[in-house]
Structure 1
């Protein structure tokens, strides 16, 4: 029986690459993001193994409805990849934009917490896996970076989730990449990590044996 992976921030970049990789390995994939057109195109490209659900992950009711649709479609949820996140165009504290911080913190922190809270009852049933997109920025102290601080939260939260899930046979992993060639940046980064590299790390974590829990995967570009 196929396993099911639910991905937030699935419409492009890391999320889309992970969906393609998982589907190629026989997983069902549930695609969550706000961009309905991009999700639908990706789901059509992947085929019957994909379900697109337009959803704002900062809306708890919408998230609950999305999880219920996925579980109803595929019979359960075996893994969740909390990948949705954003940065800011105005780095620094003194010259930063508090309104921008609010939106970023809501997505990067509360969006991940909401996903975890919603996922737990489903993952408990399958002894499943919760994966979070962290960052090298969540391991380093970066001058005045509120984005970095949100990723520090994600890294700490991942270990706390892992300890909670371990009590009933579940696992959690944080994926911590350096610079990745995605739309996060205005210019293409062909020599940096590619979305497929991160997708490979996600699949590595998911495919561990029952006796192995990979808590963190830290990737850096070779240049």
Structure 2
């Protein structure tokens, strides 16, 4: 197939699903990667033949490698990968924090990003491709005791390092850094905050930029 191909983690809802919709509207083939088989297949049915459901665990490198290999077998290429999957914590701060929650979050927010990049890099080197990472406003400022924020500081630092690494083969890396977004990440709706579609538009802006233009970071905040 000639259409460019994008792999998205955390694709079953929120920012991942919105980015899949936006990318397919722009003519991309999209690999939808998440643990929720029912949600993935429902989204793929909505989006049509350009959507490829890929059930797997973002914290498992072999799972991501197998999913990307399956996607490339179907589409013939991988042009971009979006390390979007992430999670938060129920208890804020260090003293009140739950070490088991920290470990689970780090496996998703840090190792999950590393595994997406590690699995995707050989394909992206071949295509002079593009990495997108979901950062956060919490990774651009200090929040008292925030272990979650520290995980996003990792994403921002790693994204900058990747941008320099990928220059060697003409690739690009963009950190998409939103403030509060109205997604299932929060227990209560946040209708006055950013919507997933706002973040998806930022992701597509980076992906569709002329190859001469490396957009290293997009920082977007709700107006309210």
Per the TM alignment, residue 62 of structure 1 is displaced from its structure 2 partner at its CA by: 1.1
Where do 5+ consecutive residues of structure 1 fail to align?
none
Distance 1:61 1:137 in 2: 30
Give the equivalent residue in structure 2 for 1:138: 139
What secondary structure, in the 3-state scheme, does the structure 2 residue paired with 1:87 have? coil
Per the TM alignment, residue 57 of structure 1 is displaced from its structure 2 partner at its CA by: 1.0
Per the TM alignment, residue 210 of structure 1 is displaced from its structure 2 partner at its CA by: 1.5
Per the TM alignment, residue 81 of structure 1 is displaced from its structure 2 partner at its CA by: 0.4
Per the TM alignment, residue 44 of structure 1 is displaced from its structure 2 partner at its CA by: 0.8
What secondary structure, in the 3-state scheme, does the structure 2 residue paired with 1:100 have? helix
What secondary structure, in the 3-state scheme, does the structure 2 residue paired with 1:175 have? strand
What secondary structure, in the 3-state scheme, does the structure 2 residue paired with 1:221 have? coil
What secondary structure, in the 3-state scheme, does the structure 1 residue paired with 2:64 have? helix
Distance 2:211 2:163 in 1: 14
- RMSD between superposed Cα atoms in Å: 0.5
Does residue 92 (structure 1) correspond to residue 74 (structure 2)? The answer is: no
Distance 2:78 2:211 in 1: 17
Per the TM alignment, residue 91 of structure 1 is displaced from its structure 2 partner at its CA by: 0.6
What secondary structure, in the 3-state scheme, does the structure 2 residue paired with 1:85 have? coil
Equivalent residues, number: 223
Does residue 174 (structure 1) correspond to residue 175 (structure 2)? The answer is: yes
Give the equivalent residue in structure 2 for 1:39: 40
Query: What is the TM-score when the length of structure 1 is the normalising length?
Result: 0.99
Give the equivalent residue in structure 1 for 2:155: 154
Give the equivalent residue in structure 2 for 1:189: 190
Where do 5+ consecutive residues of structure 2 fail to align?
none
Per the TM alignment, residue 18 of structure 1 is displaced from its structure 2 partner at its CA by: 0.3
Residues 89-108 of structure 1: CA deviation (Å, up to 9, x unaligned): 01110010000000001110
Distance 2:96 2:23 in 1: 41
1:5-16 correspondence runs (5 A): 5-16=6-17
Give the equivalent residue in structure 2 for 1:122: 123
Distance 1:8 1:16 in 2: 10
Residues 105-138 of structure 1: CA deviation (Å, up to 9, x unaligned): 1110000001101110010111000000000000
- Structure 1 runs (4+) deviating above 3 angstroms are none
